[in-house]
Homo-oligomer: A and B are copies of this chain.
Amino acid sequence: MLSTIEWKNDNVVMIDQTLLPTQEIFVTCSDYKQVADAIFSMKIRGAPAIGVAAAMGVAIGAVKSTAGNTAALLAELDDICDVIGATRPTAVNLFWAIKQMKNLAYDNASLSVSQLKNVLKNRAIEICAQDISINKAMGKNGAQFIKDGDCILTHCNAGALATAGYGTALGVIRAAHEQGKHIEVMADETRPFLQGARLTAWELKYDGIPVTLITDNMAGYFMKKGKIDLVVVGADRIAANGDAANKIGTYSVAVLAKEHNIPFYVAAPIATLDLSLSSGEQIPIEERSTDEVTHIAGKAIAPEGIKVANPAFDVTPASYITAIITEKGVAQGNYKENLKLLAT
């Protein structure tokens, strides 16, 4: 598997996901503004990957700083964190990673500038490595829900490309595949940004896991035909009550799954939990550019000047979620209690 994001010679290198699957191009970010732009423009996307990118963005901001003393560096870091924090409002992992880096910096205010730079750089690299081991643990915890012969529907890309590697929802699928279960995947294409068609289909094919691409509006048809045994998706933010924000369309899939008595699982790291929010109603939903809907690969597919809505996420209420799979275990039933237990 290719590296989604990597620290390399004091640069941040990532595969440009806006160009997949037709081009495999790596971009090199040599300062924090380039990292922030890569997050905003979705060269890198997926909640855990955004978290890793944010940590590396703060680290590269520190490393490239010309601050003459630690106090000046800390002041600069405040600005850097603000810029990176303004890129995408829904994924909590972004804010989690920024907070980790900021706290680490202030905890080490007594170090010299060059020492502090090293501490931050090493922590970013560690967050990246941890993400992969977290996903492997999550995969093991989730694979129990997948039986030999199952067909799994997934939405968007909660895969290796959405993380530092291995994936969350696709990590669960990978783990089942590695256990020798004969499974197949149906991937929703996930309009408007087509993460399913471009990324999920690509990375599963790359790993030799059987995958069929469908348009988002076919999920109900295949559920009614009895072709889908379970649904696994990722999440960008999970409230204390288990309500989960994820890519637009996830909620529709959850409603369809309920109507057909198909289990619906959410796989996400503990860092995705935002226990400060009592319900999903409080999760901010990012509204993205209308061009994503009206143009595909630069071509207009709608009349000029048409009014368009483009909410990038929706919230699936906990009542539709069979279980939430994390690296620390599985929450079911009373999410408020069980998520809190997992988080502590």
Contacts and interface: CB of A to CB of B under 8 A. Distances in A.
Interface of A: 21-22, 155, 186, 188-192, 194, 197-198, 201-202, 205, 210-222, 224, 248-249, 251-253, 255-256, 258-259, 293-294, 296-311, 314
B216 A217 contact: yes
A103 to B, nearest CB: 35
B248 A302 contact: no
B303 A205 contact: yes
Task: Name the 6 nearest CB pairs between A and B, nearest first.
Answer: A217-B249, A220-B252, A297-B299, A191-B215, A216-B217, A21-B303
Contact of A224 (B155, B188, B213, B251): B251
Contacts of A188: 217
Given A189-B302, A217-B217, A297-B299, 17 more contacts: A21-B302, A21-B304, A190-B217, A191-B216, A192-B215, A197-B293, A198-B302, A202-B303, A205-B305, A213-B302, A213-B306, A216-B216, A217-B249, A220-B252, A252-B252, A296-B297, A297-B301
A244 to B, nearest CB: 14
A299 B197 CA distance: 13
A212 B299 contact: no
A21 B302 CA distance: 6
A308 B21 CA distance: 15
17 contacts: A21-B303, A189-B301, A190-B217, A194-B301, A201-B302, A205-B305, A210-B307, A213-B293, A215-B293, A215-B310, A216-B216, A217-B252, A218-B311, A221-B251, A252-B252, A256-B256, A297-B301
A186 B197 CA distance: 25
A221 B311 contact: yes
A92 to B, nearest CB: 19
